């Protein structure tokens, strides 16, 4: 579920200023409360933009990343004062390093969610409108980079779906076919044993026939020779052992499959880049020193008021976050966290998109 936002009613520079400030403040202020507030606000805005299903899927993926970073950081950064346990005989695992890694993971998660929200709000035409007249090449590069990762994910899904639907694309098709033949032979033999008949099956004899149009078709048949025996002598079934691929061979085949997908994806992307370059040249890219935009948006008085309020919130947030981050440290001892009014300007800044949405809702109703 994608929806329009209140940023669409204003100049694209308002949205660009907000997301730029949100990204810079999230990366520059390494403090647990600030990081948590940024992550919660970004996730809440993502929930508003794309719905709970997409947000939950994104949250679970980012949570796994946070857990991995938090657990790995004490292994490579043995610093702190609260030792949890010792691993490897003499390596200490510290609580401060664990919390540092957790905070680092949430910073990364918050930045990724803010970038996802930015990609939804600032579409390619808005980016070109902001930078097209003065920096057309930079604007084009930004728009192409913003669409690159979602395009890679969609094409990766398409390639995997096509290969899973095409049996000839499986690297283990021969093994699957052999296993199927062996199972068919086992079923025939078991049925014969149950009925008191000994079955001797030969798999793989080739028969050739000629069709009416002169084509020759070869196919394999299963020939069974049976001899009767007393039913009471052999009434049990037997199972023909199947040959299973080893673990190493399975890993090798999976690696080949991933390599095949990557090769197709890279080839597809390079071919698409050549088509894009040819299309740009055919449409006269760079023929004029100043690029025009098909969507014009003038900077109005309302945009100026909103920008001034946003700039005031950003300035107040910077001052307060400097004070908060200056009094906090992870090493050697974890500092005590106090919830003071210094966080209020930053919270108001993070609520700025929701305030715009509330303003638009009240104006319509």
DSSP 38-63: HHHHHHHHHHHHHHHHHHHHHHHHHH
Reading the block at residue 171, the tokens are 């690297």
Q: What is the pLDDT of residues 286-344, one digit of tens each?
A: 666 666 655 666 778 888 999 999 999 999 999 999 988 888 888 877 787 877 888 89
Integer Cα distance of 87 and 78 in angstroms:
11
Residue 310 dihedral angles phi and psi, to the nearest 5°: -65, -40
Distances (CA, A) of 231 to 149, 191, 240: 67, 12, 21
Please give the residue that has the higher pLDDT: either 346 or 364: 346
Quote the pLDDT of residue 214.
47
Q: Mark whether 23 and 123 lie in a shared domain.
A: yes
pLDDT at 42 over 70: yes
Domain assignment of residue 97, yes or no: yes
Q: Mark whether 187 and 79 lie in a shared domain.
A: no
pTM higher than 0.85, yes or no? Answer: no
Reading the block at residue 107, the tokens are 């910073």
Q: Mark whether 119 and 51 lie in a shared domain.
A: yes
Query: Are 94 and 79 contacting, i.e. CB atoms less than 8 angstroms apart?
Result: yes
Q: Mark whether 217 and 115 lie in a shared domain.
A: no
Domain assignment of residue 302, yes or no: yes
Q: Mark whether 96 and 10 lie in a shared domain.
A: yes
Integer Cα distance of 62 and 74 in angstroms:
19
pLDDT at 179 over 80: no
Domain assignment of residue 71, yes or no: yes
Domain assignment of residue 281, yes or no: no
* Cβ-based neighbour number of residue 47 at 10 Å: 16
Q: Mark whether 17 and 82 lie in a shared domain.
A: yes
Please give the residue that has the higher pLDDT: either 289 or 225: 289
Q: What is the pLDDT of residues 122-139, one digit of tens each?
A: 877 777 777 666 666 776
Reading the block at residue 119, the tokens are 């990609």
Of the residues 199, 228, 257, which one is the last residue of a structural domain?
228
Q: Mark whether 28 and 101 lie in a shared domain.
A: yes
Overall number of domains in the chain: 2
Domain assignment of residue 99, yes or no: yes
In 88-228, which ranges are E strands? 91-94, 197-210, 216-228
Quote the pLDDT of residue 111.
93
* Average pLDDT of the chain, as a whole number: 75
What percent of the chain shows pLDDT beyond 90? 22
Domain assignment of residue 141, yes or no: no
Q: Mark whether 210 and 304 lie in a shared domain.
A: no
Q: Mark whether 106 and 213 lie in a shared domain.
A: no
Domain assignment of residue 239, yes or no: no
Of the residues 206, 228, 250, which one is the last residue of a structural domain?
228
Q: Mark whether 117 and 35 lie in a shared domain.
A: yes
Q: Mark whether 117 and 184 lie in a shared domain.
A: no
Q: What is the pLDDT of residues 142-168, one digit of tens each?
A: 777 767 777 888 888 888 888 788 766
Quote the pLDDT of residue 259.
84
pLDDT at 33 over 70: yes
Quote the pLDDT of residue 295.
62
Quote the pLDDT of residue 201.
42
Q: Mark whether 128 and 185 lie in a shared domain.
A: no
Please give the residue that has the higher pLDDT: either 281 or 114: 114
Which sign, positive or negative, has the C-alpha torsion 104, 105, 108, 114? negative
Strand 197-210 to 216-228 pairing: antiparallel
Integer Cα distance of 200 and 102 in angstroms:
64
**Could you tell me the residue range of the domain that residue 100 belongs to?**
6-132+295-364
Integer Cα distance of 365 and 355 in angstroms:
15
What percent of the chain shows pLDDT beyond 70? 71
Domain assignment of residue 139, yes or no: no
In 189-320, which ranges are E strands? 197-210, 216-228
């Amino acid at each position: 579920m994608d929806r329009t936002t209140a940023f669409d009613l204003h100049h694209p520079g308002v949205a660009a200023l907000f997301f730029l400030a949100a990204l810079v403040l999230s990366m520059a202020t390494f403090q647990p409360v600030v990081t948590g507030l940024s992550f919660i606000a970004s996730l809440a805005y993502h929930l508003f933009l794309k719905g709970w299903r997409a947000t939950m899927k994104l949250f679970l993926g980012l949570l796994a990343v946070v857990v991995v970073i938090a657990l790995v950081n004490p292994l490579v950064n043995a610093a702190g004062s609260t030792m949890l346990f010792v691993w490897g005989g003499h390596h200490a695992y510290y609580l401060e390093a664990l919390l540092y890694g957790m905070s680092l993971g949430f910073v990364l998660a918050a930045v990724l969610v803010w970038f996802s929200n930015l990609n939804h709000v600032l579409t390619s035409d808005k980016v070109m409108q902001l930078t097209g007249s003065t920096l057309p090449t930079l604007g084009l590069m930004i728009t192409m980079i913003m669409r690159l990762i979602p395009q890679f994910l969609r094409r990766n899904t398409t390639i995997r779906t096509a290969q899973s639907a095409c049996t000839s694309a499986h690297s283990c098709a021969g093994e699957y076919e052999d296993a199927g033949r062996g199972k068919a032979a086992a079923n025939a033999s078991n049925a014969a044993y149950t009925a008191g008949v000994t079955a001797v099956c030969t798999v793989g004899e080739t028969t050739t026939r000629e069709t009416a149009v002169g084509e020759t078709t070869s196919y394999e048949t299963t020939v069974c020779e049976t001899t009767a025996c007393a039913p009471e002598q052999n009434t049990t079934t037997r199972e023909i052992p199947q040959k299973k691929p080893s673990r190493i061979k399975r890993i090798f085949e999976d690696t080949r499959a991933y390599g095949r997908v990557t090769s197709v994806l890279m080839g597809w992307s390079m071919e698409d880049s050549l088509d894009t370059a040819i299309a740009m040249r055919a449409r006269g890219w760079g023929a004029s020193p100043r690029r025009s935009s098909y969507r014009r948006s003038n900077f109005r008085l309302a945009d100026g008021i909103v920008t001034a309020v946003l700039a005031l919130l950003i300035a107040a947030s910077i001052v307060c976050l400097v004070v908060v981050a200056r009094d906090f440290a992870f090493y050697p001892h974890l500092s005590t966290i106090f919830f003071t009014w210094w966080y209020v300007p930053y919270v108001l800044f993070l609520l700025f998109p929701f305030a715009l949405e509330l303003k638009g809702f009240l104006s319509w109703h």
